[in-house]
């Protein structure tokens, strides 16, 4: 018995690992279509009728405060920017009610679907107001998707700009 035959009897014959076959024409979407299908940036048109425990929890924190503020001032203007792994909402003429603004900030990020991921950049502005006993937001925004980064110039290479929003989005009723 040869040395090789001896090892084959003890350990068995090693078979080469088979790689799974991958089709030449893969069905994987390209980056652009994958981006579009992964994240729907337009808020739901009828947000008032949603049942979402997260937004309801946030609403409970600031709802009465916001209704009073809107009745006193008629509107609350804000601007926002998101992307690059961070996001900011800036309210015009904020007061000292930090907890209320923080909850409203988080709520608007969720409702308006403002991205905070690195590849998407959105900026815009909006106004919160009351109409027909419903708190509404009117906003517009511009979304940019980065496709690449130029290391020589330290500049982000963007794709096409997309304008979103522009209509009235119902948030919640002023009735208790």
- Nearest Cα residue to 43 out of 136, 150, 153: 136
pLDDT digits (tens, 9 = 90+) for 130-165: 999 999 999 998 888 776 777 888 777 777 778 877
Indicate the pLDDT class of residue 79, thresholds 50, 70 and 90: very high
Contact 135, 174 (CB under 8 A): yes
Q: Give the C-alpha separation, 69 to 64, whole Å.
A: 9
Q: What share of the chain is helix, strand, coil (3-state, %, to 5)?
A: 30, 35, 35
In sequence order, which ranges of the chain are alpha helices (DSSP H)? 3-11, 31-38, 53-73, 98-111
Tell me how crowded residue 124 is: count the other CB atoms within 10 A of its CB.
Answer: 20
In angstroms, rounded to a whole number, what is the distance separating the alpha carbons of residues 81 and 108? 12
Token output for 53: 């425990």
Q: Residue 141, Cβ neighbours under 10 Å: how many?
A: 22
The Cα 27–Cα 85 span in angstroms is 29
- pTM, two decimal places: 0.66
Confidence of residue 26 (pLDDT cuts 50, 70, 90): very low
- Checking if the pLDDT of 17 tops 70, the result is no
Q: Residue 126 and residue 112: Cα distance in Å, rounded? A: 10
Looking at residue 130, its pLDDT comes to 96
pLDDT one-digit tens code per residue, 31-76:
343 444 344 555 555 544 455 788 788 888 999 999 999 999 999 9
């Amino acid at each position: 018995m040869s040395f090789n035959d001896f090892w084959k009897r003890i350990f068995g014959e090693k078979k080469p690992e088979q790689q799974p076959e991958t089709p030449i024409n893969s069905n994987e979407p390209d980056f652009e279509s994958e981006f579009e299908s992964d994240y729907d940036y337009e808020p739901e048109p009828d947000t008032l009728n949603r049942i979402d425990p997260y937004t309801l929890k946030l609403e409970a924190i600031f709802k009465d405060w916001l209704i009073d503020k809107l009745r006193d001032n008629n509107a609350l203007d804000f601007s926002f920017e998101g992307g690059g792994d961070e996001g900011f909402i800036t309210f015009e003429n904020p007061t000292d009610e930090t907890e209320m603004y923080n909850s409203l900030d988080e709520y608007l990020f969720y409702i308006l679907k403002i991205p905070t991921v690195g590849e998407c950049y959105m900026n815009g502005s909006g106004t919160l107001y009351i109409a027909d006993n419903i708190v509404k937001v009117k906003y517009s925004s511009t979304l940019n998707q980065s496709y690449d980064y130029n290391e020589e110039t330290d500049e982000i290479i963007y794709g096409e700009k997309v304008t979103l929003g522009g209509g009235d989005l119902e948030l919640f009723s002023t009735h208790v």
